[in-house]
Chains A and B, each alone.
Chain A
Amino acid sequence: MITQNAKIAIVDDEVHIRALLEQTLEDLEGEPEILTASNGAEGLALIESERPQLVFLDVMMPLMNGYDVCAAVRKNPELAATTIVMLTAKGQESDRVHGLEVGVNYFMTKPFDPDEILDLARKILQVP
């Protein structure tokens, strides 16, 4: 798969998480385009219009939570190739079952391990 113009979306209402994730992802080869949204509804609109290959999705957000965003993405066959990584806070691990039900591919616990995020992104986008 050629991912020359890889797009990654970060959907999280916390500005520092967006900033830190963005900065982490800047280390990726091939300079993927990084898009951000600060709530669920905005995030879904962004995913639908920009079709990112990879989405980092927070759980608790205003307007629309991460599960609902994920469920909506999974209902749209045109977005089938979207890999969704859910960012859960420590202690929310028990909600993973729900996450799996609505079609989450991976889970990461906040505070996230930057190297784990990079390893995962490299694997999904198939960049070195």
Chain B
Amino acid sequence: MKTILVVDDEELIRELYRVEMEEAGYRVALASTGEEALAQLESAKPDLVVLDIRMPGMNGIDLLRRIKATTPRLPVVLNTAYSDYRQDFSTWASDAYVVKSSDLSELKTTIQRLLQT
């Protein structure tokens, strides 16, 4: 079973993702901050990270840089309410960029695609 780390400061979103991903057949680890996420990377050893950008403390882009520097092969899906981060060169290092939506099907197919390769 693949493990997905969901990083988001919004608790209800984390919960929604968790139930949805578990139903889709993934093990889900959660982190509400960048720091928590770094710890989870060590402990949960996720196969993929779903990363929000705007977070208090370490933001998603800083975290992305950390992840890509240490484990460049770990797929990262940026999942944010802001579509304009696409313009930011730094986000281009991510493997996918999915704008947040109540319809999680796009996120799910992206995760599925990235985990297959």
- Chains A and B are bound partners: no
Chain B residues with CB under 8 Å of chain A are none
Chain A residues with CB under 8 Å of chain B are none
